Amino acid sequence: MNIHHVYLGLGSNLGNRKNNLEEAIRQIGEFASIKKSSSIYETEPWGLKDQPIFLNQVIYMESTLGPNELLSHLKKIEQQMGRKKSVRFGPRLIDVDILFYDDLIMKTDVLTIPHPLITERPFVLVPLAEIAPKLMHPLYHKTIHVLSQDIDQSSVLLCKD
């Protein structure tokens, strides 16, 4: 059975945001081996500005699940935790995105890997650079550290809680 190296981005801006991140990670740990987790960052909303502030975090895990099976597990966690369909980029109890899955490059109707908006999102790049600065983006052929230097990080603050 193959072990896959996966980076996930997590975000929450409704309810007890920190507990939401912790609960999602606990549930992910039921089917994957979590190896690293970034600090938690407080971040300005992205895409839709008029909503509460987010807490964001990135984790590195190892899993035997294929990418579509992993996505299915993550969507199930979001639903079980009470995530409701709303406006695109809107408020959410929990959001879990697959950022990288090995060096895989794929695009289907339901899943794109690497996540297509990584390079535009400081709330992903800052925590990702914390735990994987030398990780190479398979499409841009730049490290996460280099990509994180190319983006305004002023909206991402280390959470002091």
The CA distance from 127 to 104, in Å, is 21
Q: By C-alpha distance, which of 67, 63, 52 is closest to 28?
A: 63
Choosing from 17, 50, 83, 103, the catalytic residue is 83
Alpha-helix residue ranges (DSSP H) falling in 63-119: 67-80
Choosing from 17, 92, 102, 121, the catalytic residue is 92
95 included as an active-site residue: yes
17 included as an active-site residue: no
Choosing from 26, 50, 88, 95, the catalytic residue is 95
Choosing from 17, 26, 88, 97, the catalytic residue is 97
Handedness of CA 100, 116, 144, 17 (dihedral sign): negative
The CA distance from 53 to 12, in Å, is 9
CA angle 25, 50, 157 (to 5 degrees): 50
Omega before 114 within 30 of 0, i.e. cis: yes
Q: Which residues are catalytic?
A: 83, 92, 95, 97
